Amino acid sequence: MKKIAVIILLIGSLVLESQAQSDVDALRYSMTNPLGSTSRSMGMGGAIGVLGADPASQLINPAGLAQYRSGVFSIGIDMLLESVEADYRNSGPLNSNYGKVTIPNVNLVFSNVKSYRGVPATSGWVNYSFGIGLNRTADFTQTMSFNGQNTQNSMLDYVASYVQGLSASALDANDEQLDNGFYYFENMFWYGYLIDTINNGNYYGYYDGMNPNQFQSGYIKKTGGMNEFNMTFAANYEHKVFFGFGVNIHSVNYTELNRFSETDNPATTGNWNTYDFTRNLNTSGYGFSGRLGLIVKPNDNVRVGASLTTPTFLNLEDNYYDELYVTYDNGEFEDMRTIDKEFSYTITTPVRYGLQGAYIFGKSGLISAEIEQVNYSTMGISSDNYGFENENQKIANKYNSATNIKIGGEMAFDAFRLRAGYAKMGNPFAVNTRFAQQFITTGFGIQDESMAIDLAVIKQIGEGQYIPYEINNISSGAVSTNTNGTRIALTFSYKF
């Protein structure tokens, strides 16, 4: 009989648990780094697509690879130092600082130049290039802390609303849960006397809802990133038209620790005093996409290009569990944990359309610009076990089309190159949501016939918001965030 009850509970709660995958996940894996992966590309604000002869072309416009006249191997290293300033309920900002060192690119390009009796060809397809590489496309590293006084509601109101309509027996913990872990987070809040019921199926948060005065705080730590393994082919037609296409294999690794804490109104006694609710998530997976590019060089000074990146189909698996630690006014406590769970699903990212242009000032320098269009309302989530109709409708309503802008320049002094650039990410939200992301870049390079060393310094400036809990008409209010970071990148290249 106990086994039958457990099966009924699992089926009845399936829809609730599936909502762990949301539009937030789709956006996370759809927004990629606009600057490219090499120091030259970063130093020019990512406006490298139409210029070519750089491994970062594989991420923007693969036709640029056809402008190589020799083979090249490149590898890079970068260091990020960043801080997040978070303000919750006008309590004053809290600063969190973090840093990370990564290898953003390892690339190998082979070039085959056609010749006749030792003289390079000038008609027809004059050379071909093939590139393979591993390039970093997103970095999820971030740490954030916030706190504030909430005089309007409690997260317990969110949990109570979340379980409305469920019978109390569905929330009760059986012996298996007490021994091995609770099935779902709501079971822990019920067992810990943080929510209660007026009658069966009608729940409320167990605190003084008439005079709420809850001290709330949060801590979020994110790590991981996304990489692309690129395989790219490009061809050069009479140094006037360049064509390229690539197949990309994506890898995803994301870890998040999200802790929300609450202290009850000191005037309320005889119940709980504090609780810490911690959600632990690890997401991993892989996916595939394609990229097409075209560059036209009407004369020695002007280059124009266009690119298309297909949707990426990411096959992901979430492994997650929750923890709840409660202290009571009488000095007792409860330390609870859910069982380990996993869920497999697919995220589809939007198509990306790009236009690029550059003007070359002979051998003295250049200026380059790009625009990229991404319609985030076309993101999607799917699974064999759950339909995600509500989540996909929310994506269609919440997000819109955004335009990313990049501009960069380079000045040449013999073997020395001086660079600068700027990039701005378009706002993906259709609703009024605080968002901004800008990059101010500079860099330099030194090169000779066979080797090059490039350095870039990137200033990252961002604004955003985070809502700890929201359901129906219950919302914690937004945490306003300001991000300020510096990335230093170094790339070494060797021609052969």
Query: Which residue in the block uniquely carries the two structure tokens 């943080």?
Result: 194
Residue 2 DSSP symbol:
H
Q: What is the mean pLDDT of the chain?
A: 94
CA atoms within 13 A on the CB side of 333: 9
Distance between CA atoms of residues 4 and 166, nearest Å: 17
pLDDT in tens, 248-300: 999 999 999 999 999 999 888 889 999 999 999 999 999 999 999 999 999 99
- Contact between residue 466 and residue 478 where contact means Cβ atoms under 8 Å apart: yes
pLDDT in tens, 357-385: 999 999 999 999 999 999 999 999 999 99
Work out the average pLDDT over 98-102. 96
Reported as type and span, the H/E element at residue 196 is strand 195-199
Helix residue ranges, H only, 238-364: none
Distance between CA atoms of residues 483 and 465, nearest Å: 11
The phi, psi pair for 209, rounded to 5°, reads -70, -15
pLDDT band at 14 (very low <50, low <70, confident <90, very high): very low
Q: What is the CATH number of the domain that holds 277?
A: 2.40.160.60
Number of domains in the chain: 1
pLDDT in tens, 372-429: 999 999 999 999 999 999 999 999 999 999 999 999 999 999 999 999 999 999 999 9
Provide the residue range defining the domain that includes 99. 2-495
Residue 215 DSSP symbol:
E
Structure tokens at 127: 């050379």
Residues in the chain: 496
- Write the burial class of residue 85 (CB in 10 Å: 0-12 exposed, 13-18 middle, 19+ buried): middle
Distance between CA atoms of residues 86 and 467, nearest Å: 12
What region does 6 belong to: left with phi over 0, alpha with psi -120 to 50, or beta? alpha
- Contact between residue 54 and residue 62 where contact means Cβ atoms under 8 Å apart: no
pLDDT in tens, 325-359: 999 999 999 999 999 999 999 999 999 999 999 99
Residue 257 DSSP symbol:
E
Residue 12 has pLDDT above 60, yes or no: no
Distance between CA atoms of residues 273 and 267, nearest Å: 11
Segments of 238-332 assigned E as strands: 241-263, 272-296, 302-309, 313-328
Distance between CA atoms of residues 78 and 365, nearest Å: 26
Residue 3 has pLDDT above 70, yes or no: no
Reported as type and span, the H/E element at residue 157 is helix 155-162
The distance of Cα 88 from the centroid of its chain, to the nearest Å, equals 23
Work out the average pLDDT over 133-154. 97
pLDDT in tens, 164-188: 999 999 999 999 999 999 999 999 9
pLDDT band at 473 (very low <50, low <70, confident <90, very high): confident
Structure tokens at 338: 């859910």
Distance between CA atoms of residues 473 and 158, nearest Å: 9
pLDDT in tens, 44-88: 999 999 999 999 999 999 999 999 999 999 999 999 999 999 999
Q: Across the strands, what pairs with 251?
A: 227, 286
Reported as type and span, the H/E element at residue 389 is helix 389-398
